[in-house]
Amino acid sequence: MPELPEVEVSRRGIEPHLLGQTIERVVVRNSRLRWPVSPELNDLVGAQIQRVERRAKYLIITTTHGYVIIHLGMSGALRVIPSDTPEVKHDHVELVLRSGVSLRYNDPRRFGCWLFSAEHPAEQHPLLQGLGPEPLTDEFNADYLYQRSRGRQQAIKTFIMDNHVVVGVGNIYANEALFKAGIHPNRAAGRVSEKRYQQLVPIIKETLTKAIAQGGTTLQDFTQVDGQPGYFKQELMVYGRGGKLCMQCRGRLKEIRLGQRSTVYCPACQR
């Protein structure tokens, strides 16, 4: 599933082509996504696009007629292409713009979503209520994470992946950040010291920022808006490397399951 850096790369990729443009047509070829595509999207015809935002892994397109909420799901991808480009298999939803280009959504597995909201969804929409702070903001800091962790027996890895604690720290980047911070992923969040949280939070921010700058992680089902894969995977130190040698100590990396997700760590480097 695309993680926060991949979604942010998509946002930055589509934004320049959408801002200020008028929606001429909404084409829904298959409404059966994770949730049915909102029929109210047709009300956006004639609307002008004002902003393209991201909240957690959701994209929010603000128009003069309402808001579009997009989630890429496990295999979704957005393309900005000439409107007369022939459709291909799994092209499900398309915003046709007066400029002659379209924002086209392709999703083989159909786990994504395209929903409409009459009001800005960041606070009032059920999908976005109760979310924690964005990881790259000042609101997410060591003191906040330390206080939230007190008394928690939950593993630190699943704790930082909890969207109610902080959004967007997905499996790949949780693995990487904990390795760089030297923290065992199965250590209880409440037993991680304040000093170690002071080390972990900047590492999370740095890891996500670097991934965004390099274009996101190359995942099997994800490519950038321009069709090129991301470039961060070549620098992953633990994710997907279970059983291989640690790049720091040359010991053997171990792979376990935490919260139904693959977790790779170094028994020597992470305590």
Residue ending a domain, choose from 73, 98, 124: 124
At 97-131, the pLDDT tens digits run 999 999 999 999 999 999 999 999 987 899 999 99
Q: Are 90 and 156 found together in one domain?
A: no
pLDDT of residue 24: 98
* Total number of domains constituting the chain: 2
Rounded to the nearest integer, the mean pLDDT of the chain is: 93
Q: How confident is the model at residue 246 (pLDDT cuts 50, 70, 90)?
A: very high
pLDDT of residue 229: 54
Average pLDDT over residues 82-105: 96
Structure tokens at 85: 């480009």
**126 catalytically annotated:** no
Whether 254 is in a domain gets the answer yes
pLDDT of residue 122: 83
The CATH number given to whatever domain includes residue 111 is 3.20.190.10
Domain range enclosing 109 = 4-124
Q: What gap in Å lies between CA 10 and CA 24, rounded to an integer?
A: 22
Ligand-binding site membership of 90 (annotated)? yes
pLDDT of residue 223: 57
**57 catalytically annotated:** yes
pLDDT of residue 269 exceeding 60, the answer is yes
Whether 93 is in a domain gets the answer yes
- The residues facing 255 across adjacent strands are 264
Q: Considering 57, 148, 180, 196, which one is annotated as catalytic?
A: 57
Q: Are 197 and 233 found together in one domain?
A: yes
pLDDT of residue 230: 59
Q: Are 95 and 149 found together in one domain?
A: no
Q: Are 115 and 146 found together in one domain?
A: no
Ligand-binding site membership of 125 (annotated)? no
Report which of 121, 213, 133, 222 is spatially closest to residue 169, judged by C-alpha positions. 133
Check: CB of residue 180 under 8 Å from CB of residue 207. yes
Least confident of 21-30, 61-70, 72-81: 72-81
Name, in order, each residue with C-beta under 8 angstroms of 200's C-beta and a sequence gap of 6 or more: 142, 145, 160, 177, 178, 181, 183, 192
**98 catalytically annotated:** no
At 131-188, the pLDDT tens digits run 999 999 999 999 999 999 999 999 999 999 999 999 999 999 999 999 999 999 999 9
Q: Are 51 and 77 found together in one domain?
A: yes
pLDDT of residue 270: 98
Q: Are 149 and 103 found together in one domain?
A: no
Q: Considering 2, 5, 121, 185, which one is annotated as catalytic?
A: 2
pLDDT of residue 213: 85
**271 catalytically annotated:** no
Whether 243 is in a domain gets the answer yes
pLDDT of residue 234: 57
At 182-229, the pLDDT tens digits run 999 999 999 999 999 999 999 999 999 998 888 766 555 555 666 665
Q: Are 120 and 153 found together in one domain?
A: no
Q: Considering 110, 210, 233, 261, which one is annotated as catalytic?
A: 261
pLDDT of residue 123: 72
pLDDT of residue 214: 82
The region that residue 253 occupies, defined by phi over 0 for left and psi between -120 and 50 for alpha, beta otherwise, is beta
